[in-house]
């Protein structure tokens, strides 16, 4: 087996009684852009700080290119970290901020200078080298923080929600820049965020973390299509996953799942599903097929609220205390719709057991 660039082997961390990380195992390949996605407070920053050597581990070990990191002091680890709040030195210029890490690594002055200027050009901040951080916009400050990390040419980048202090438009721009930069430099990157859009767009592979444990590891599209449990499905849904109680009904060779909003035919039910059971049924707003009947006699839910998002519109409908949120293309929405019907075919249906563990994912027939 090829040794992965970065390996977490049974890493655990507690603060007092609170177990923050529990027996964490992860492997990041050389050159990979790996995103750790999890809610606020799940231990993402703690994990990065332990990797950088700014915090100790209670259990387990972290390996960088096969070397155990515990005995290695932070400055000996060849790791660069980009912090959420940039952490630039306010009294230093952009140039000095970027050169600071290099000087510590005792390079020659001319070499340092060339490296800083090359990196600044790469990030489009070449004209800002004499400014101080307070003379920069948030986006520019974050580019300087990135520059300070990449100028050193480390073995690993750690990025702790580097976009969260930027406003929406700048965030999208810098996000694209980070992705392009990583593609170009191919430095192994561990990026943490609570934002599922960032994880989906940036990651080669991702891990979803909750309550100190890895919930699922995979390529974003695979995690999205087949979430391992209800938490992951919920976390990757926007605005939120619709969840209903359901019953599985089997007949010769076929099966269907009955819920309060409709019955979904299950084309190839695996035998592992067992006999008719009580289930939880998840449908993402963007994966439900709907129509807007004119005729009152058709079974339907009543439209309660419409939220235009631009090209997509969220429609919230209800019947007998059951609520469903769907996302439809704006141009597919009739004027002032009052009734919504869930079309039983073509919906992406996620089945979970009572404990929230995924049993199956299918497109209804």
Ligand X SMILES: Nc1ncnc2c1ncn2[C@@H]1O[C@H](COP(=O)(O)OP(=O)(O)O)[C@@H](O)[C@H]1O
Binding site for ligand X (CB under 6 A): 15, 20, 38, 40-46
What minimum distance in Å lies between the beta carbon of 121 and ligand X?
A: 33
Question: Peptide bond before 294: cis, by omega within 30 degrees of 0?
Answer: no
Burial class (CB in 10 A: 0-12, 13-18, 19+), 157: buried
Pick 26 or 248: Cβ nearer ligand X: 26
Pick 15 or 89: Cβ nearer ligand X: 15
What DSSP element (H or E) covers 201?
helix 196-202
State how beta strands 339-342 and 156-160 pair: unpaired
By CB under 5 A, name the one of 24, 42, 45, 128 that touches Mg ion.
45
What minimum distance in Å lies between the beta carbon of 62 and ligand X?
A: 15
Q: Quick one: what does residue 262 bind among ligand X, Mg ion, none, with the CB cut-off 5 to 8 Å set by partner type? A: none
Q: Quick one: what does residue 259 bind among ligand X, Mg ion, none, with the CB cut-off 5 to 8 Å set by partner type? A: none
What minimum distance in Å lies between the beta carbon of 303 and ligand X?
A: 37
Sign of CA dihedral 209, 210, 215, 220: negative
Q: Quick one: what does residue 308 bind among ligand X, Mg ion, none, with the CB cut-off 5 to 8 Å set by partner type? A: none
Q: Quick one: what does residue 51 bind among ligand X, Mg ion, none, with the CB cut-off 5 to 8 Å set by partner type? A: none
DSSP letter, residue 79: E
Q: Quick one: what does residue 15 bind among ligand X, Mg ion, none, with the CB cut-off 5 to 8 Å set by partner type? A: ligand X
What minimum distance in Å lies between the beta carbon of 15 and ligand X?
A: 4
The dihedral formed by the CA atoms of 258, 241, 19 and 359, expressed in degrees to the nearest 10? 30
Q: Quick one: what does residue 41 bind among Mg ion, ligand X, none, with the CB cut-off 5 to 8 Å set by partner type? A: ligand X
Pick 192 or 301: Cβ nearer ligand X: 192
Pick 13 or 44: Cβ nearer Mg ion: 44
* List of long-range contacts for 219-224, beta carbons under 8 Å, 24+ apart: 224/200
Number of Cβ within 10 Å of residue 100's Cβ equals 17
Closest CA to 5 of 28, 37, 38: 28
Tokens of 169: 């438009």
Q: Is 325 a binder of Mg ion (CB under 5 A)?
A: no
- Residues 241, 282 contacting (CB under 8 angstroms): yes
DSSP letter, residue 318: E
Number of Cβ within 10 Å of residue 321's Cβ equals 6
What minimum distance in Å lies between the beta carbon of 357 and ligand X?
A: 24
What minimum distance in Å lies between the beta carbon of 204 and ligand X?
A: 21
Pick 10 or 41: Cβ nearer ligand X: 41
Sign of CA dihedral 341, 343, 348, 354: positive
Under rule CB under 5 A, how many of the chain's residues touch Mg ion?
2
- Residues 298, 260 contacting (CB under 8 angstroms): no
Pick 40 or 272: Cβ nearer ligand X: 40
What minimum distance in Å lies between the beta carbon of 192 and Mg ion?
A: 7
Q: Quick one: what does residue 162 bind among ligand X, Mg ion, none, with the CB cut-off 5 to 8 Å set by partner type? A: none
Pick 41 or 274: Cβ nearer ligand X: 41
DSSP letter, residue 56: -
Q: Quick one: what does residue 311 bind among Mg ion, ligand X, none, with the CB cut-off 5 to 8 Å set by partner type? A: none
Closest CA to 155 of 189, 179, 182: 189
Closest CA to 10 of 54, 59, 48, 57: 59
Nearest 5°: the CA angle 350, 279, 314 is 45
Pick 96 or 210: Cβ nearer ligand X: 210
Q: Quick one: what does residue 89 bind among ligand X, Mg ion, none, with the CB cut-off 5 to 8 Å set by partner type? A: none
Task: Return the residue matching tokens 């177990």.
Answer: 19
Q: Which residue is nearest to Mg ion (CB)?
A: 45
Pick 45 or 242: Cβ nearer Mg ion: 45
What minimum distance in Å lies between the beta carbon of 48 and ligand X?
A: 8
Can you give the binding site for Mg ion, defined by CB under 5 A? 44-45
């Amino acid at each position: 087996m090829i040794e992965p660039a970065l390996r977490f082997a049974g890493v655990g961390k507690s603060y007092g009684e609170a177990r923050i990380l529990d027996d964490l195992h992860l492997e990041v390949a050389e050159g990979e852009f790996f995103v750790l996605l999890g809610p606020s407070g799940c231990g993402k920053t703690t994990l990065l700080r332990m990797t950088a050597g700014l915090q100790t581990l209670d259990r387990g070990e972290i390996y960088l290119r096969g070397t155990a990191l515990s005995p290695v002091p932070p400055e000996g680890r060849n790791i660069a970290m980009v912090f959420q709040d940039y952490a630039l030195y306010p009294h230093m210029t952009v140039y000095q901020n970027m050169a600071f890490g290099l000087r510590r690594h005792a390079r020659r002055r001319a070499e340092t200078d060339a490296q800083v200027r090359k990196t600044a050009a790469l990030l489009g901040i070449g004209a800002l080298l004499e400014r101080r951080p307070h003379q920069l916009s948030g986006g520019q400050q974050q580019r300087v923080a990135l520059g300070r990390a990449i100028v050193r040419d480390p073995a690993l980048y750690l990025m702790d929600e580097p976009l969260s202090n930027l406003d929406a438009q700048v965030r999208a721009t810098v996000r694209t820049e980070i992705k392009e930069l990583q593609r170009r430099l191919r430095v192994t990157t561990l990026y943490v965020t609570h934002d599922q859009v960032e994880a989906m767009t940036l990651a080669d592979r991702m891990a979803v973390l909750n309550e100190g444990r890895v919930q699922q590891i995979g390529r974003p599209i695979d995690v999205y299509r087949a979430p391992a449990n209800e938490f992951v499905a919920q976390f990757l849904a926007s605005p939120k996953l619709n969840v209903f109680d359901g019953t599985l009904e089997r007949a010769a060779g076929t099966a269907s799942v009955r819920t309060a909003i409709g019955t979904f035919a299950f084309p190839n039910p695996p035998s592992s599903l067992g006999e008719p059971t009580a289930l939880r049924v998840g449908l993402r707003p963007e994966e439900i097929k709907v129509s807007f009947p004119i005729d009152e006699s058709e079974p339907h839910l009543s439209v309660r609220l419409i939220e235009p998002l631009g090209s997509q519109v969220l429609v919230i409908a209800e019947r007998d205390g059951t609520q469903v949120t769907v996302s439809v293309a704006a141009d597919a929405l009739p004027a002032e719709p009052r009734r919504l019907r869930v079309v039983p075919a073509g919906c992406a249906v996620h089945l979970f057991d009572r404990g929230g563990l995924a049993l199956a994912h299918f497109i209804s027939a």
